[in-house]
Structure 1
């Protein structure tokens, strides 16, 4: 079961997060809380995203919309890394001649035959 946090718990947990900042980040859709009967709740992943947003905001004076775009790009990068790991697992499961052929094709595509 995923641990959830109330808004008060979230603000107490995330360094430099204030109610005003959270409102701005919600408007920029940096996080989208789950709506429950008791009100909005946040996942531990949301807390991590907000921690990163606060750090980027403080260090680089990034506005919420720019933060949203940056975090979206980071999410995409993590997704691509996960997909690449799956491709590598699939390649490793192939017989040696197939792996060698794939290495050659990938090397040619990546380095232009060098």
Structure 2
């Protein structure tokens, strides 16, 4: 079961987050709360995204739209890492000759080695 937070709980959890800042981050779609019968709720992932957004905002004075773009790029990077992990796991299950062929092909494509 996923724990959800109300806006008040979220602001209490993310210490650098204020109501005004949350409003700006919502407008920039840094987080998109879930609408439930009880109202808007936030998830654990939202807490992590908002902690990162607040840190980047404070440290680098990034505006909400720039933060949104940066966090989107970070999301894409995490997605690519997960996909790469899956490919590496699939390669690992292959017989040794297949793995060696893949290593050679990837080495040539990446580094121009022959």
Give me the TM-score of the superposition, normalised by structure 2. Answer: 0.98
Structure 2 CA distance, aligned partners of 1:20 and 1:39?
19
1:8 Cα deviation from its structure 2 partner = 0.1
1:94 aligns with 2:94: yes
1:38 Cα deviation from its structure 2 partner = 1.2
1:110 aligns with 2:110: yes
Map of 1:43 onto structure 2:
43
Deviations 1:66-97 (A, max 9, x none): 00000000000000000000000000000000
1:107 Cα deviation from its structure 2 partner = 0.3
1:61 Cα deviation from its structure 2 partner = 0.2
Structure 1 CA distance, aligned partners of 2:34 and 2:11?
16
CA contact (8 A) 1:15 1:54 kept: no
1:16 Cα deviation from its structure 2 partner = 0.7
Q: Secondary structure at the match of 1:16?
A: coil
Deviations 1:46-79 (A, max 9, x none): 0110000000000000000000000000000000
Q: Secondary structure at the match of 1:4?
A: coil
Structure 1 CA distance, aligned partners of 2:28 and 2:103?
42
CA contact (8 A) 1:3 1:43 kept: yes
Structure 2 CA distance, aligned partners of 1:86 and 1:96?
18
Deviations 1:21-55 (A, max 9, x none): 00000000000000011110000110110000000
Where does the alignment leave 5 or more consecutive residues of structure 2 unmatched?
none
**Number of residue equivalences:** 114
Give me the TM-score of the superposition, normalised by structure 1. Answer: 0.98
Which ranges of 4 or more aligned residues in structure 1 deviate by more than 4 Å?
none
